[in-house]
Structure 1
Amino acid sequence: MSRMSLPRSRRIAPAVAVAAAAALVLAGCSSSSGGKKAEESAAGVSAGKADTPRLTIALVTHAPSGDTFWDTIRKGAEAAAAKDNIKLIYSNDETASDQAALVQNAIDQKVDGIAVTLAKPDALEDVVAKAEKAGIPVVGLNAGLDVWKEQGLLSFFGQDESISGEALGKKIDGTGVKHALCVIQAQGAVNLEQRCAGVKKAFGGKTDILYVNGTDMPSVKSTITAKLKQDSSIDEVVTLGAPIALTAVQAVDETGSKAKIATFDLNKDLVKAIEAGTIEFAVDQQPYLQGYLAVDSLWLYKNNGNFSGGGEQPVLTGPAFVDKSNVEAVAGFAAKGTR
């Protein structure tokens, strides 16, 4: 598939730090969970911006409803929309076919740009191509690093999940841990599968994979509990999201297991758990930054012809580790729901 008017000479990565700083300044914007229908954001309806062209941008994710991680992505997107005089339309569905239908809805509304997550890229490929054929620029965020260029997206904002998984695996390796359990809350989601594959590759001990239904926390708890009871040699539980990690804490307590818990991703309760020592550390991919940069990049492309990452390289927002040594520095931002 051809790229969208991409000048091959533009190969210089952007000054992401500038955008990141702007994102932090705007970190106080509020948000609520999106649900499974499109919602217009009030962001961007601001006096004094009449000289800025009004754009409509759609943000379409594979988020399950009620997940605080995705609320953080949305807050970042809304902050960028407020700054850029953008009407932001947010929609989400964890079922890949339904997410594709939401992208089609955005195309039918003739939006000026689309930001999309590609957790199951094969299901989104055709509709992404339709957007590009209609002349709508598309950027990726969070999931889809391996396919964003071949599907013709302008840019990608997120972390390399394989590298992030390896980083976590290396961090627990050599600490005396012998048997890790990596818990995947959505089977088939490529970004989650890559995390556990990375852990398994870098960790010198044994790594088991456990699939759970991440939309049903009682089920998550019972599944992890059953596994820990079945195999008492498990001494490290690795989860791929903050709500799963906090549920794993309950499972470990209930079984009397000595397993430690490490996770990917943050929320304010997870930060408190790190402070309390019930969770060792978290891998932070800065979801606020992903939402912010994805929306801002579309404004920059439409108004100044900019290609974030030069159109050739992803803009990486992680991984970074948050543990007891630095958790205090991010606790205030997490309390506001922006980290």
Structure 2
Amino acid sequence: MRRRVLAAGVATLLLISACSEGGRAEPQQATGYTIAFVTHETPGDTFWNIVRSGAQQAAEDVDVQVRFSNDPDATRQAVLIQQAVDAKVQGIATTLVTPDALAGSVRAATAAGIPVVGLNAGIERYRDLGALMYFGSDETVAGTSVGERIAASGAKHPLCVIHQAGSVALEARCAGVKSAVPGTENLQVNGADDAAVTSTLQAKLAQDRTIDYVVTLGAPIALDAIQAGSTAKIATFDLNKETADRIKDGKIEFAIDQQPYAQGYMAVTSLYLYLKNGNDLGGGKAVLTGPSFVDKSNIDTILPYVEKNTR
């Protein structure tokens, strides 16, 4: 099988270009099925490397072309989806973290006969927007699971750190934590600036010594929380190599993993199966990839996969 994730510069390329400095697009040669893979990725967030790794492996396994583009700005992400529609791709896989802002472009895709699957964010709304399938975690369930776990360890006043404004997925996680620990307080930070995250956390933790847990919603933010220095325990959503190492050495209590490699892989293969054979995975329901807890009890099993960029 040939990996069909190709660089720009070939005359037969269909171009999808990001419309801002924050966006990125990787056009590829137009042969066979072409799938646009559009996310709200913030540049530098290691989580998305894992999603992309799964999608790239799927592209190789089923011999399709995958075009990656991303922008954390909801309006510009919508433009990227519309550009995929205009380029007449055969399928679109997209995150739906800001469903209202993306609704017009997703519906334009379905109106043009282009199948759309959601992944990672938007589990509550993907059907409303016209997406056929969804692959990801139920963030409310995941957040509740975290809340129940830290409540059992005695947490009374957790700080839930939201690193992207307007993200329904992140807000659902914190709402889930709060449902299990009523004393939960949310804190908004700028996830694109690690130094700013660290300083904001330092100020908050110094101002309120009753905070006993910091729950971060992305692996890089957990590392910022460590840098902030506090006696509060740290738990996080999602994994990367550094976070896994900090679980092993006890600086992070646990991570809740939504298995992003599986999200990327299944989003691509589901579109391939739909295009080739009319398959609808999940039987009309979202396919859940999490939550899965990673802590000291299983980190040695998980760590080799983290090192391969698949967990």
Using structure 1 for the length normalisation, give the TM-score.
0.84
**Which residue number in structure 2 is paired with residue 320 of structure 1?**
292
Q: Which amino acid aligns with 1:226?
A: A
Q: Which amino acid aligns with 1:38?
A: A
Alignment of 1:234-249 (within 5 A): 234-249=211-226
Q: Which amino acid aligns with 1:317?
A: T
* 1:143 is aligned to 2:118: no
1:177 deviates by 2.0
Alignment of 1:19-58 (within 5 A): 36-40=23-27, 54-58=32-36
Residues 129-173 of structure 1 show CA distances to partners (whole Å, capped at 9, x for unaligned) of 110111100000000100011111110000000000000000001
**Contact 1:165–1:199 (CA<8 Å) still a contact in 2?**
yes
Residues 16-37 of structure 1 show CA distances to partners (whole Å, capped at 9, x for unaligned) of xxxxxxxxxxxxx9xxxx9722
Alignment of 1:60-139 (within 5 A): 60-139=38-117
- The higher-RCO structure (CA 8 Å, 6+ apart) is 1
Unaligned runs of 5+ in 2: 6-17
Q: Supply the distance in 2 between the matched residues of 1:177 and 1:144 (Cα, whole angstroms).
A: 29
**Which residue number in structure 1 is paired with residue 9 of structure 2?**
none
Q: Supply the distance in 2 between the matched residues of 1:177 and 1:129 (Cα, whole angstroms).
A: 43
1:41 deviates by 5.8
Which of the residues 266, 273, 276 maps onto 2:249?
276
Aligned residues: 292
Q: Supply the distance in 2 between the matched residues of 1:203 and 1:41 (Cα, whole angstroms).
A: 47
**Which residue number in structure 1 is paired with residue 170 of structure 2?**
192
1:317 deviates by 0.2
* 1:201 is aligned to 2:179: yes
Q: Supply the distance in 1 between the matched residues of 2:123 and 2:28 (Cα, whole angstroms).
A: 27
Q: Which runs of 4+ in 1 moved over 2 A?
A: none
Q: Supply the distance in 2 between the matched residues of 1:202 and 1:233 (Cα, whole angstroms).
A: 18
Q: Supply the distance in 2 between the matched residues of 1:199 and 1:187 (Cα, whole angstroms).
A: 18
Alignment of 1:6-21 (within 5 A): none
1:54 deviates by 1.8
SS of the equivalent of 2:169 reads helix
**Contact 1:41–1:90 (CA<8 Å) still a contact in 2?**
no
Q: Supply the distance in 2 between the matched residues of 1:184 and 1:88 (Cα, whole angstroms).
A: 30
Q: Supply the distance in 2 between the matched residues of 1:264 and 1:170 (Cα, whole angstroms).
A: 14
Q: Which amino acid aligns with 1:59?
A: F
**Which residue number in structure 2 is paired with residue 16 of structure 1?**
none
**Which residue number in structure 1 is paired with residue 130 of structure 2?**
152
**Which residue number in structure 2 is paired with residue 6 of structure 1?**
none
Q: Which amino acid aligns with 1:231?
A: D
**Contact 2:155–2:181 (CA<8 Å) still a contact in 1?**
no
Distance 1:194 1:262, change over 3 A: same
**Contact 1:37–1:91 (CA<8 Å) still a contact in 2?**
yes
Q: Supply the distance in 1 between the matched residues of 2:152 and 2:305 (Cα, whole angstroms).
A: 32
* 1:329 is aligned to 2:306: no
Residues 51-99 of structure 1 show CA distances to partners (whole Å, capped at 9, x for unaligned) of xx82100000001011110111011001001111111100000000000
Q: Which amino acid aligns with 1:120?
A: T
Which of the residues 260, 263, 270 maps onto 1:297?
270
**Which residue number in structure 2 is paired with residue 168 of structure 1?**
146
Q: Supply the distance in 1 between the matched residues of 2:152 and 2:259 (Cα, whole angstroms).
A: 27
